[in-house]
Amino acid sequence: MRVLGIDPGIAIAGFGFIDKDGHKLKPVQYGCIQTAAHTPQEERLVQIYDSAAALMDKYKPDTVAVEKLFFNRNVTTAFAVGQARGVIILAAAQRGLPVAEYTPLQVKQAVVGYGKAEKRQVQEMVKMFLKLSAIPKPDDVADALAVAICHAHSSGMSQKINEVLR
């Protein structure tokens, strides 16, 4: 199973493709989609959509996992991130890809085993799980890989539960 993990953002949207084969996780490609400050919002959204669509077409994920919004005090930023999430989810939906959403707490729980883990702990676990030589930068990329790992772990559990319930 190939998973695309996304840490959405309007300035930087992290992405990470991983392959899951049994219990093994292997990085395929990771990086970020960046848009320039002072660019009109609608142009930034088009850039994010086009880049996400091109990545999905090139790396052919089986599923997409996106981090849910965490609302902080800056409502304007939250709206912009929500719009970026929307165009990424649209790109996935247009390709018939299932989309799963995870809260930051769920991601930390799945990757570190503790929902209130520090960012550095999550990054170190991403590095370890994927056998990387260094923590991916910027942080958004490591976060996207963490979302992908979360889904890889969670989807296996969901499949087992569904099999038992049948």
Which pLDDT score, from 0 to 100, does residue 40 have? 95
- pLDDT average, residue stretch 157-162: 48
Q: Output the pLDDT for position 165.
A: 47
Give pLDDT tens digits for 111-125.
998 888 898 999 999
**What is the pLDDT, as a whole number, of residue 79?**
85
Pairing of strands 2-7, 12-21: antiparallel
The average pLDDT across 33-37 equals 96
pLDDT (tens digit per residue) in 60-90: 999 999 999 766 666 667 888 899 999 999 9
pLDDT one-digit tens code per residue, 9-25? 999 999 999 999 998 99
| Cα–Cα dist 10/37, whole Å | 9
Q: What are phi and psi of 118, to 5 degrees?
A: -75, 155
What is the H or E stretch that residue 104 is in?
helix 104-112
| Helix 41-59, helix 75-94: angle, nearest 10 | 40
pLDDT reported for residue 154: 87
Token pair in block for residue 138: 């910027």
Which of 80, 67, 85 minimizes the C-alpha distance to 150? 67
At 25-34, the pLDDT tens digits run: 999 999 999 9
Q: Which residues contact 102 (CB under 8 A, 6 or more apart)?
A: 65, 66, 67, 68, 110, 147, 150, 151, 154
- Residues involved in catalysis: 7, 67, 140
Q: How far apart are CA 140 and CA 1, in angstroms?
A: 23
Residue from 21, 138, 14 nearest 65 by CA: 14
Percent of the chain at pLDDT exceeding 70: 89
Query: Is the per-residue pLDDT at 162 higher than 80?
Result: no
CA-derived radius of gyration, the chain:
15
